Amino acid sequence: MYQYDQYDQQMVDARVEEFRDQARRRLEGTLTEDQFKPLRLMNGLYLQLHAYMLRVAVPYGTLSSMQMHALADIADKYDRGYGHFTTRQNIQYNWIKLEDAADILADLAKVEMHAIQTSGNCIRNISSDHFAGAAADEVTDPRPYAELLRQWSSFHPEFSYLPRKFKIAVIASDTDRAAMRLHDIGIQIVEKDGTLGAAFYVGGGMGRTPMIAPCINEFVPLDQLVSYAEACLRVYNRHGRRDNKYKARIKILVHEMGAEEYTRQVEEEFAHMLKRGIEPPFAELERIRTYFEDPLFEEGASADIDRSDPDFALWVDRNTVAHKADGYVSAVISLKPVGGIPGDATAEQMHLMADLAKDYSFDELRVMHTQNIVLPHVRKADLHALWTALDEAELGAPNLDTVEDIIACPGLDYCSLANARSIPVAQQISERFAKNGKTEALGQLKLKISGCINACGHHHAGHIGILGVDRKGVENYQLLLGGSEAEDVSLAKITGPGFDEAGIVDAVETAADVYLRERQDGERFLDTYRRIGMTPFKEALYG
């Protein structure tokens, strides 16, 4: 994986000192909270309901064992012994003191990590495919391009006070595991006539006005990638709306201007950028690529798995994914134990995952946008030992992509924006389905819960989505059906009137039952919904 050289280290160290100085001026009172707010946000520090929350960047979701150990140490030293993995492959800590924040950033810098641009109206940490470098279906590893864009976007002087936050995802296969088209810019590395290039999708997003990004350029040559991104951003920085924060994302600009006119302006700016000559030397991309070369996979590793233990066999079936190397799989560690808080991990669990990555996965881990952890390169022969260790630490839940594998935002338990709690709803739903035994029959069913319209829990993209709203001071939950964040991307639709907390759990089961009744061979919940439409679900829910 990528390693800092002295330049990267200098930049991160400088940022720590800058923030230490800013925090000092805030604590002394020379910076007002209004002036300090965008500065702390650009270092990942939010003021939440009960305390400061610090969001740490995990660039393209990739972590080393050493880094995961450091994240665990921070949870122990500065927080309450746990952390929360997020839908943008980052980790956040919920109980941080402002006085400690600079020291935490200094601890992170020692392991080549930071919280730079994990919040604020700037280019955020860049996300990618959690199976990058392992997936059998990728044309190349997308992470070198994400790393190049990380460097380009870090401390970008022109684009640090954008109209609104800006999220970029980079993938390199037709299977979209990163919700690419629901990003401000989604980039898919594609191959054409034996040459790699970048397809640019611009103006997607969730939030209160969800949009699927249109493709504005099907093939940007890789030695013009930065110039094209810079052109996309400049048009947005100049023309994105600043009169209303809810209309300030680039999706609104692309929608109001029209994708065609936006593209025309980008192409005009792009022609200008090419003349400016801002592209990195191609040797830089080559340099970055060397850090992402395959680990030394064992030739002829055994493909046999002893399936005599049924619990283990179920976990293998549900939580492991095909790998490009024979005899290997990617193994998913579920952070969704039945009744647990989606995405949370204790310091002890983080230490264990780090140790297991060292023993079984070439020292590497990935954070998934679905709030689970991947060990990307595991020999099939090691799976039983891995599973045994995970199971003992309550990390062995066999529920990847099932109804129990719920995405949920922190909701009203933590977040100052939320209208309703997400976590208790997620807990009750996973308990309900674990108890009624329908999880297996339901197969792939992506359920996503947001505690407010800002959609951090990706409810628009759930096969089943839940949106918490405030109705006259009472938490109320709307049910949505038919969303997808994958290559078959679609936006979920609201079924009708909302439900109370108990009612929404029943409603999810009712919708699941409609599927079990109506499905045809091989159909997922989403496929059945798309075939039969909303009406049968409405009848069952409200009829």
Q: Which residues are near other proteins by CB under 8 A?
A: 5, 7-8, 10-11, 14, 17-18, 21-22, 25, 30-31, 35, 38-39, 121, 151-152, 154-163, 226, 234, 237-238, 242, 272, 276-278, 280-281, 283-284, 287
> How far is residue 351's CA from residue 511's CA, in Å, rounded to a whole number?
39
- The total of other beta-carbon atoms located within 10 Å of residue 244's CB is 9
Residue with smaller CB distance to other proteins, 278 or 322? 278
- Tell me the closest approach of the beta carbon of residue 325 to other proteins, in angstroms: 31
- Tell me the closest approach of the beta carbon of residue 201 to other proteins, in angstroms: 23
Residue with smaller CB distance to other proteins, 157 or 473? 157
Buried b (16+ CB within 10 A) or exposed e, 480-518: bbbbbbbeebbbbbebeebbebebbbebbbbbbebbeee
Residue with smaller CB distance to other proteins, 22 or 67? 22
Contact of 376 with 330, CB cutoff 8 Å: yes
Residue with smaller CB distance to other proteins, 281 or 473? 281
- Tell me the closest approach of the beta carbon of residue 167 to other proteins, in angstroms: 17
Residue with smaller CB distance to other proteins, 157 or 310? 157
- Tell me the closest approach of the beta carbon of residue 157 to other proteins, in angstroms: 4
- Tell me the closest approach of the beta carbon of residue 18 to other proteins, in angstroms: 6
To the nearest 10°, report the CA torsion of 139, 143, 149, 151: -150
Residue with smaller CB distance to other proteins, 158 or 311? 158
Tokens standing for residue 95: 């109980």
- Tell me the closest approach of the beta carbon of residue 297 to other proteins, in angstroms: 29
Residue with smaller CB distance to other proteins, 272 or 435? 272
Tokens standing for residue 372: 């689970």
CA angle 342–40–25, rounded 5-degree value: 145
> How far is residue 148's CA from residue 195's CA, in Å, rounded to a whole number?
19
Question: The dihedral of CA 90, 93, 97, 101: what is its sign?
Answer: negative
Give the largest Cα separation in the chain, rounded. Answer: 67
Helix (H) or strand (E) segment spanning residue 275: helix 259-276
> How far is residue 451's CA from residue 465's CA, in Å, rounded to a whole number?
11
- Tell me the closest approach of the beta carbon of residue 310 to other proteins, in angstroms: 52
Q: CA nearest 540: which of 503, 514, 518, 516?
A: 514
Residue with smaller CB distance to other proteins, 15 or 377? 15
The helix/strand/coil state of 492 is: coil
- Tell me the closest approach of the beta carbon of residue 285 to other proteins, in angstroms: 9
- The total of other beta-carbon atoms located within 10 Å of residue 72's CB is 23
